[in-house]
Amino acid sequence: MNAAPGLLLCLIGAVLMSGQVEAVYVPLRCACPKVTEVVKEPLSDINVIEKGPHCKNDEIIVTLKAQAGDGQPINVCLNPSGKQAKQLLKCLERMAKSNKEKKQCLQPQKRRPKHKRNQTQKLRQTSKRSRGTKQRALQS
């Protein structure tokens, strides 16, 4: 008889605890069997799956905006060691630190000139050339 209340308490505890357990989906294999270096189409979403027991590599899955023809978004896997993937990851880290939305990383970047110094030097060289021709013209 003394064991009955203890057993009852254990059963009640097990029932209460079973309500708190949530199921977690763990894939059994890599989601990206084939990767791409660069995606030129506009992106609508990005999903990063870190390496784990299901896959030995990090996986970066980008969703392309739906094309006018079929209307279905397309998922593409980026190579994690590729330039575009590294830029996206760096942007996502910055957005996470500043509590901003990741959508800003998906918008196309404005192209900046690679070497402003070279452009400035070219301008200086052209202006020096034009000064030299003006001085020669004045001397004659």
Give me the domains of the chain, ranges plus CATH numbers: 29-109 (2.40.50.40)
Distance CA 83, CA 87 (A): 6
Nearest residue to 105 (alpha-carbon basis) of 92, 86, 123 = 92
Which H or E run includes 15?
helix 3-18
Distance CA 39, CA 65 (A): 12
Which two three-digit tokens encode residue 107?
């918008």
Give the range with max mean pLDDT: 66-70, 73-77, 79-83, 135-139.
Answer: 79-83
Q: pLDDT tens for residues 86-135?
A: 999 999 998 888 888 877 887 776 655 655 556 666 666 666 555 555 55
* Residue 10 scores a pLDDT above 70: no
* Per-residue CA distances from 122 to 2, 111, 116, 131 (Å): 95, 20, 10, 14
Q: pLDDT tens for residues 38-58?
A: 988 888 899 999 988 888 889
Q: Any idea what DSSP says for residue 55?
A: B
pTM for the full model? 0.56
